[in-house]
A and B are shown apart, each in its own frame.
Chain A
């Protein structure tokens, strides 16, 4: 009944559908259960609006650095105030301004990190559905790799499904241990926006993705199936990286980060993040999401391995008083 009520409510409000309005009111007249559901639904809708509103205000304050010295609120921090709340708020405004003033001075004078999202083409898989191009990509702005496809789920969400392990030669009978999907991301625009040569700052790239595994007929053959995110950094043209893969990693790679997760079939989805320091000469980031079997065998169907919400973020922060003597890999398993 809940679905029927929500659908009718949506039609009445969005489409001004009179037939739906009549049907909705009839249901509410006839069934006490419908009245209970509708009352809770609308109260919860207001709770949702209120929650999102508070979150939004808190995030603005966070961005301004004005809450740098305070703990995150555990209850609604601010609301859009209506009279006569404004009267009450005005009474304490002077004192609050004084306290915030201290916080602002602290924030301005203290080193702060900055985050910037880098464009990952179809990173949320919403702008394209269908098979992913087979083979290593040779240009920016698209996914390519082993057999995979973007599918639309029942709830309308689109997600990447890793279908089958493959190998770089594209030979269907050759050994294959993983299904990897790649994208080349150019870093020039980041360099234009941030002066990466500043001696007192360092930039970290974070690649995050959400992994989900559903039960599949081949699960028994895949006891060690693991998901991973990887970043490789190069100072090369995309075509050269494509031609030299995978040897190019060992010979020309200048940065690397990796994060692995092992999910049992049906386990809760999880988001993982791989990180690496952005080397000053890096012009291209190669990002990879993959499912690996840990054994080299003939290509095998993965069944239910999904990846979604791929994001690449650059974090700039003041250099810590630490001397790096070897390239960081940030590898965690």
Chain B
């Protein structure tokens, strides 16, 4: 049984770092549904292993280790058709993913600044696709544009945001 004080610190740490953990899962799987499923399973495991975490050490590196095992376990249960990356590629990307996910809060703040530079139509496309979860085909049909035009628009917005985030990270690290 953990002392209540440690429980509180664990919940605080998990709550604070859950977005970074979700990003970590998403970067390994490149699939939002799978990432959320793995995040849930990871949270349960972290809770079960809460006694292993020393509150005087950083939470994220420990949580990433637990998440990595959960991801690989999930990965092996999936059919190949659902997966984006091969297992060896996931392992090769591990360090880069951990580095990017560790900086999640800073990257998210940078992204928030970059979002202000988008025009209304660009923001609406992102909202429809990522918040309302409309497929690009549905968006194309609703707007009377070709699917390839919508895909190209989304690609350009993503590139614009990526370039902006990198600039922001260099100037406001």
Contact with B along A33-45 (1 / 0, CB 8 A): 0011011111111
The docked-state distance in angstroms from the alpha carbon of A29 to that of B93 is: 9
The docked-state distance in angstroms from the alpha carbon of A85 to that of B46 is: 12
A36-B96, A79-B18 known; A44+B121 contact, CB < 8 A: no
Residues in A whose Cβ lies below 8 Å from that of B156: 154-156
Q: A88 interface residue, CB < 8 Å from B? A: yes
The docked-state distance in angstroms from the alpha carbon of A36 to that of B97 is: 8
Q: Are A85 and B107 in contact (CB under 8 A)?
A: no
Q: Are B100 and A40 in contact (CB under 8 A)?
A: yes
Q: Are B100 and A9 in contact (CB under 8 A)?
A: no
Q: B32 interface residue, CB < 8 Å from A? A: yes
Q: B143 interface residue, CB < 8 Å from A? A: yes
Q: B65 interface residue, CB < 8 Å from A? A: no
Residues in A whose Cβ lies below 8 Å from that of B150: 156
Residues in A whose Cβ lies below 8 Å from that of B73: none
Q: B71 interface residue, CB < 8 Å from A? A: no
Q: A139 interface residue, CB < 8 Å from B? A: no
The docked-state distance in angstroms from the alpha carbon of A25 to that of B90 is: 9
Residues in A whose Cβ lies below 8 Å from that of B131: 49, 52-53, 56
Q: How many A-B residue pairs have CB under 8 A?
A: 168
Q: A13 interface residue, CB < 8 Å from B? A: yes
Q: Are A6 and B159 in contact (CB under 8 A)?
A: yes
Residue of A nearest to B137 (CB): A14
Q: Are A156 and B153 in contact (CB under 8 A)?
A: yes
The docked-state distance in angstroms from the alpha carbon of A41 to that of B23 is: 10
Give min CB distance, B99 to chain A, whole Å: 7
Contact with A along B52-87 (1 / 0, CB 8 A): 000000000000000000000000000001001110
The docked-state distance in angstroms from the alpha carbon of A6 to that of B162 is: 11
Q: Which of A29, A76, A88, A157 meets B153, CB within 8 Å?
A: A157
Q: Are A43 and B162 in contact (CB under 8 A)?
A: no
Q: A243 interface residue, CB < 8 Å from B? A: no
Q: B30 interface residue, CB < 8 Å from A? A: yes
Residues in A whose Cβ lies below 8 Å from that of B159: 2-3, 6
Q: Are A46 and B26 in contact (CB under 8 A)?
A: yes
Give min CB distance, A332 to chain B, whole Å: 21
Q: 16 A-B residue contacts at CB 8 Å?
A: A2-B159, A2-B162, A28-B85, A35-B92, A40-B96, A40-B166, A43-B100, A43-B107, A47-B108, A51-B111, A52-B130, A82-B18, A127-B144, A152-B149, A155-B157, A309-B121
- 17 more contacts with CB within 8 A, not counting A2-B159, A24-B85, A56-B127, are A9-B30, A14-B135, A39-B96, A40-B165, A42-B97, A43-B27, A43-B100, A44-B107, A44-B111, A47-B23, A47-B104, A47-B108, A48-B130, A52-B126, A157-B121, A157-B153, A308-B119
